Amino acid sequence: MIEILNTLVSLDLFKVFFCCDLEKCHGLCCVEGDAGAPVDMEEVGLLEDSLEVVWDELTPEAQRQIDAEGVVYPDRDGELVTQIVNGKDCVFVKHEGKCAFCAIESAYRCGRFHWQKPISCALYPVRLSTVGDMTAVNVHKWNICQPARDLGTKLQMPVYQFLKEPLIRRFGQAWWDECDLAARELKKAGYLD
Using CB atoms within 10 A of its CB, is residue 73 exposed (0-12), middle (13-18) or buried (19+)?
middle
The pLDDT tens digits of the residues spanning 87-118 come to 888 999 998 888 888 999 999 999 999 999 99
Name the least confident of 12-16, 32-36, 155-159.
Answer: 32-36
pTM: 0.87
**pLDDT above 90 coverage of the chain, percent:** 73
- pLDDT score for 32: 79
Distance CA 170, CA 69 (A): 28
| pLDDT digit string, tens, across residues 135-167 | 999 999 988 889 989 999 999 999 999 999 999
What integer pLDDT is reported at residue 97 of this predicted model? Answer: 86
Residue 31 has pLDDT above 90, yes or no: no
Please provide the average confidence, as pLDDT, over all residues in the chain. 92
Q: What count of residues does the chain have?
A: 193
Position with higher pLDDT, 32 vs 148: 148
Position 29 pLDDT exceeds 80 = no
pLDDT number for residue 81? 93
**Domain boundaries along the sequence of the chain:** 1-18+125-193, 26-117
98 Rama sector, left if φ>0, alpha if ψ -120 to 50, beta otherwise: alpha
Confidence of residue 47 (pLDDT cuts 50, 70, 90): very high
Q: How confident is the model at residue 73 (pLDDT cuts 50, 70, 90)?
A: very high
Give SS3 for 82: strand
